[in-house]
Amino acid sequence: MTRTAGFDRHSGSREMARRVSVGEVEPDHFLEEALARAREADSGTDALGIFLSLSRKGSGGGQVDGLLAGVPVAVKDNLCTRELPTTCASRILEGYLSPFEATVVRRLREAGGRVVGKTNMDEFAMGSSTENSGYRPTRNPRDSARVPGGSSGGSAAAVAAGIVPCAFGSDTGGSVRQPASFCGVVGIKPTYGRVSRYGLVAFASSLDQVGTFGATVEDATRLLQAVAGHDPRDSTSSERAVPDWLGALDSGVEGLTVGVPEEYFTDELDSEVDRVCREALERLREAGARIREISLPHTRYAVPTYYILAPAEASSNLARYDGVRYGVRAPEAESIEGVYEESRTRGFGEEVVRRIMLGTFALSAGYYDAYYGRAQKVRSLIAGDFERVWEAGVDVVFTPTSPTPAFRLGERTRDPVSMYLSDIYTVTANLAGIPGISLPVGAVEGLPVGGQFLAPMWEEARMLGAAHTLEALLEGTPPRGNEAGRNGGGR
């Protein structure tokens, strides 16, 4: 049975917006189609578990001439929306209705886009498989026995299942790029400060960035183009002008110097993923790019550094869920301490508790310098590695997005460290504040493999152009994994 119809690779969001703006179809035509597909994908015994809530028809407003006119978009459940709950897939925020809307959601609507629904995720974006959702896991549309990656697994799956051409995620340590690679779609993490975080529920504020998914590089770029740029409501958002990224997609790779870091092609890397990535590099070389071996020597400290800094920031950001100001309150508690304790014990899942404990420990008196202080220093060294490479004339860096293709549900839930290691190639970009993109570059046994481009801060254009070129070079080879599987038949 074909559960998802999929979108033509060459039309996607651009063609939808065109058809809506010339009046060929009703403004809510694609929204209604997407809602029907979403219901289908999430129903029955083999439900994919993609959405936590769905919009009602016609809730998008009347705009018909924006960049995203009538384009249905899925929104990760840690971005505040007024009409739908924002739960971060946590029980502690069950039913929470935000009184305000995230800037990216507002800009999406102003560009004519339609919110289809809120997508499943790892609770508070902590995880790499969407199995840490407080509600249900999401399954990978390419192979339903596998995870979609995380934490933005629902959004990646919504695109992979052909429900929407574009979706929002958030990327603190890889949560857009890693699920994009597992699901065979495109995921962009922009430069820190490029996109407003206003209305993004904070996980680790110095690392968090809203990112976009697309069926193609163009789809993901179109959504990013519509929402990027300064926002007075986020003091960390940059005042730099946003370039015409869509216009820069055809820049090509002729003369581009692509750095290939030896530290990302080691024994931890699955040998087939290695092969697929090297073939992609070969295509780039044939198209005129210069491929250069480089070294980013502090890479091996990235995961331990991230797992000090991110939990430290999380422990402070999550202090607000106390059953009083935010969160579901434990009804039977008899004292104020009891309210805090009971509400937090019931509301938070195991991984969130683990992070809060790790973070609180790292920040505690006597340990602060040894852990948090030191991790901050290593963070600068990691950023310095990239600085040196750019100064030496490298334009973009190319790496695998994740060391393996999508793993099976349940395979890593008992071993947090094995789960953390799936972020080994993605956390560096967050620590350094630089932009990254993952795109499908091939398949291993029917499972998609993602390749990642990284670029200097504010140089998204370069990275998007390189990705768009590689996508075209790989056209014809099946780069998205299992297209004829249980759900992919209609693609």
482: which 2 tokens? 């299992």
- Binding segment (CB under 6 A) for ligand GLN, from list 173-181, 254-262, 331-339, 454-462: 173-181
Q: Which of 13, 133, 155, 175 is catalytic?
A: 175
- The alpha carbons of the chain give a radius of gyration, in whole angstroms, of 21
Q: Which of 13, 76, 90, 98 is catalytic?
A: 76
- Looking at the Cβ atoms of 86 and 151, the one nearer to ligand GLN is 151
Q: What is the smallest separation between the CB atom of 307 and ligand GLN, expressed in angstroms?
A: 8
Told to judge if 76 belongs to the known catalytic residues of this protein, a careful annotator would answer: yes
- Looking at the Cβ atoms of 151 and 212, the one nearer to ligand GLN is 151
Closest CA to 72 of 158, 160, 171, 9: 158
Among positions 310, 396, 424, 437, the unique one binding ligand GLN when judged by CB under 6 A: 310
Closest CA to 120 of 145, 137, 103: 137
Rounded to a whole number of angstroms, the distance between the first and last alpha carbons of the chain is 13
**Angle, CA of 285, 291 and 296, to the nearest 5°:** 150
For residue 197, give Cα distances in angstroms to 66, 100, 109, 401, 466: 22, 13, 17, 24, 27
- Looking at the Cβ atoms of 49 and 169, the one nearer to ligand GLN is 169
Distance CA 322, CA 433 (A): 31
134 by Cβ neighbours in 10 Å (0-12 / 13-18 / 19+) ranks as buried
- Looking at the Cβ atoms of 152 and 482, the one nearer to ligand GLN is 152
Told to judge if 151 belongs to the known catalytic residues of this protein, a careful annotator would answer: yes
Told to judge if 364 belongs to the known catalytic residues of this protein, a careful annotator would answer: no
**Which residues does residue 399 pair with via DSSP β-bridges, in sequence order?**
452
Among positions 86, 103, 120, 128, the unique one binding ligand GLN when judged by CB under 6 A: 128
Among positions 33, 171, 263, 322, the unique one binding ligand GLN when judged by CB under 6 A: 171
Of residues 10-29, those binding ligand GLN (CB under 6 A) = none
Closest CA to 80 of 162, 202, 183: 202
- Binding segment (CB under 6 A) for ligand GLN, from list 63-71, 164-172, 257-265, 382-390: 164-172
Q: What is the smallest separation between the CB atom of 155 and ligand GLN, expressed in angstroms?
A: 12
Closest CA to 109 of 161, 168, 40: 168
What lies within 8 Å, CB to CB, of 391 at 6+ separation is: none
Among positions 31, 68, 126, 358, the unique one binding ligand GLN when judged by CB under 6 A: 126
- Looking at the Cβ atoms of 169 and 488, the one nearer to ligand GLN is 169
| Residue span 143-162 as binding mask against ligand GLN, x where in contact by CB under 6 A, dash where not | --------x-----------
Q: Is 435 in the site for ligand GLN (CB under 6 A)?
A: no
Q: Is 403 in the site for ligand GLN (CB under 6 A)?
A: no
Contact in structure between 255 and 224 (CB atoms under 8 Å):
no
Among positions 12, 137, 174, 261, the unique one binding ligand GLN when judged by CB under 6 A: 174
Q: Is 123 in the site for ligand GLN (CB under 6 A)?
A: no
Q: What is the smallest separation between the CB atom of 168 and ligand GLN, expressed in angstroms?
A: 13
Distance CA 341, CA 336 (A): 9
**Strand ranges inside 401-466, DSSP E:** 436-444, 447-454
Q: What is the smallest separation between the CB atom of 309 and ligand GLN, expressed in angstroms?
A: 10
- Looking at the Cβ atoms of 70 and 400, the one nearer to ligand GLN is 400
Q: Is 433 in the site for ligand GLN (CB under 6 A)?
A: no
- Looking at the Cβ atoms of 160 and 309, the one nearer to ligand GLN is 309
Contact in structure between 431 and 331 (CB atoms under 8 Å):
no
Contact in structure between 459 and 436 (CB atoms under 8 Å):
no
Q: Is 70 in the site for ligand GLN (CB under 6 A)?
A: no
Q: Is 127 in the site for ligand GLN (CB under 6 A)?
A: yes
Strands of the 114-119 sheet, one edge to the other: 51-54, 114-119, 72-76, 166-170, 210-214, 186-189, 436-444, 447-454, 396-400, 257-261, 290-294
- Looking at the Cβ atoms of 207 and 461, the one nearer to ligand GLN is 207
- Looking at the Cβ atoms of 157 and 461, the one nearer to ligand GLN is 157
For ligand GLN, how many residues bind (rule: CB under 6 A)? 14
Q: Is 204 helix (H, G, I), strand (E, B) or coil?
A: coil
- Sequence-separated contacts (24+) of 99-104 with Cβ below 8 Å: 100/199, 101/199, 102/196, 102/198, 102/199, 102/200, 102/210, 103/196, 103/198, 103/199, 103/227, 103/231, 103/233, 103/234, 104/79, 104/168, 104/195, 104/196, 104/199, 104/200, 104/210, 104/227
Of residues 198-217, those binding ligand GLN (CB under 6 A) = 203
Among positions 66, 113, 162, 173, the unique one binding ligand GLN when judged by CB under 6 A: 173
Contact in structure between 71 and 108 (CB atoms under 8 Å):
no
Q: What is the smallest separation between the CB atom of 38 and ligand GLN, expressed in angstroms?
A: 23
Q: Which of 133, 151, 170, 237 is catalytic?
A: 151
Q: What is the smallest separation between the CB atom of 169 and ligand GLN, expressed in angstroms?
A: 8
Q: Is 402 in the site for ligand GLN (CB under 6 A)?
A: no
- Binding segment (CB under 6 A) for ligand GLN, from list 89-97, 168-176, 401-409, 459-467: 168-176
Distance CA 151, CA 131 (A): 9
Q: What is the smallest separation between the CB atom of 46 and ligand GLN, expressed in angstroms?
A: 26
Residues annotated as catalytic are 76, 151, 175
Site residues (vs ligand GLN, CB under 6 A): 125-128, 151, 170-175, 203, 310, 423
